[in-house]
Amino acid sequence: MPTLNLPTAGGRITAYLMQPPRNFPKAEPPFNRIAYAAAHVVADPLADREPWLDAAVDWDTTIEFRRHLWSLGLGVAEAMDTAQRGMGMNWANSLELVRRSLDAAKDFPGALIGSGAGTDHLEVTPDVTVDDVIRAYEEQCEAIEKLGGRIILMASRALVKAARSPDDYVLVYEHILSQVKQPVIIHWLGEMFDPALEGYWGYRDHADAMDVAIDVIASNPSKVDGVKISLLDKNKEVTMRRRLPQGVRMFTGDDFNYAELIAGDEQGYSDALLGIFDAIAPAASAALDAFTHGNVASFHDILAPTVPLSRHIFKAPTRFYKTGVVFMAYLNGLQNHFTMIGGQESTRSTLHLAELFRLADAAGLLADPELAASRMRTVMATRGVAA
């Protein structure tokens, strides 16, 4: 197995011996849990554009990655925050991404795909109004439905700015839900993922905010397939899960505690819509297959080593987690570079990337050790770590 030099705390460089990769069994979907991976986009490193100002997407590699996810039996949550939505990817590029993904999904009968509709094309100014937010949501929902897509209703930074009370959230959501053609997934993205969303649903306290969200869902159960909660707090997720109307699913967005939340308890379970499933797709697929066939021990055996990796990738500042997701794709040969939209490959330290490599290796997630080691040496060299 390869050995390479990696930095550790205190400025030291130590030799690291890799371990053999884990051979994840090929899954035979469908699974007994719905599972979406929030998929990342692949930047075009050769485009003559300024990466901080203009997103250049490698469309072919981006769509090929979605084919990879579908081949493993996972669904694709498209144009979400993992795809740098509102963080480099604008609405025009996001809609093109949705169009291309929906077209590619036709090659996979029964493939799951949901597409993010938000208000990110609306400039968030001090005078933005609730009516502006409604019109922005309508525009994106209509565009996605025109393509034949199903909607994941994303949280709105503009709504945080425009709302004067929780009633404004109720007004906006009930208006949009009254118009959608198919039931949507509502995404409650916490401020740890996007600081501009603090105070969503009209309250800074998550318990009070949850009351508003539950009221909206309970008033429109036929228009809500489920809710994805991304607060990184398993107790809040379980509390909300137990309050949902019958038939409305909880999709875990908890990248810290996903294994136990998917497994569930005597009162219910969570389906999955997770950014970490992008990075650990083969393990997620194998674990869900084992669980579906009644092998709960194997489910936990596969996912347990991935949890420390996920907690590291999503550590504070959590909004930088996309760097780790893309880095995993690079190490595993799913893209040939470590360049990101907006130059976000720079958002994590060299020490962070080194620990990510060690944790991914410990979880058996580096499918080709020689390739992963070679690419890691290249990145470390660019950051001043001698081979």
Mean model confidence pLDDT for the chain = 97
Identify the pLDDT of residue 343: 94
pLDDT tens by residue, 82-114: 999 999 999 999 999 999 999 999 999 999 999
Across the range 220-227, mean pLDDT stands at 97
Q: pLDDT class for 288, splitting at 50, 70, 90? A: very high
Average pLDDT over residues 326-335: 98
The answer on pLDDT for 387 being more than 80 is no
| pLDDT-derived band at 219, boundaries 50, 70, 90 | very high
Across residues 153-163, what is the average pLDDT? 98
| Distant-in-sequence, close-in-space partners of 349: CB < 8 Å, separation ≥ 6 | none
Quote the pLDDT of residue 386. 79
Q: How confident is the model at residue 151 (pLDDT cuts 50, 70, 90)?
A: very high
User: Which pair of tokens denotes residue 107?
Assistant: 């090659």
pLDDT tens per residue, range 12-61: 999 999 999 999 999 999 999 999 999 999 999 999 988 888 899 999 99
Residue-level pLDDT at 71: 97
Q: Can you give the pLDDT at residue 20?
A: 96
pLDDT of residue 334: 98
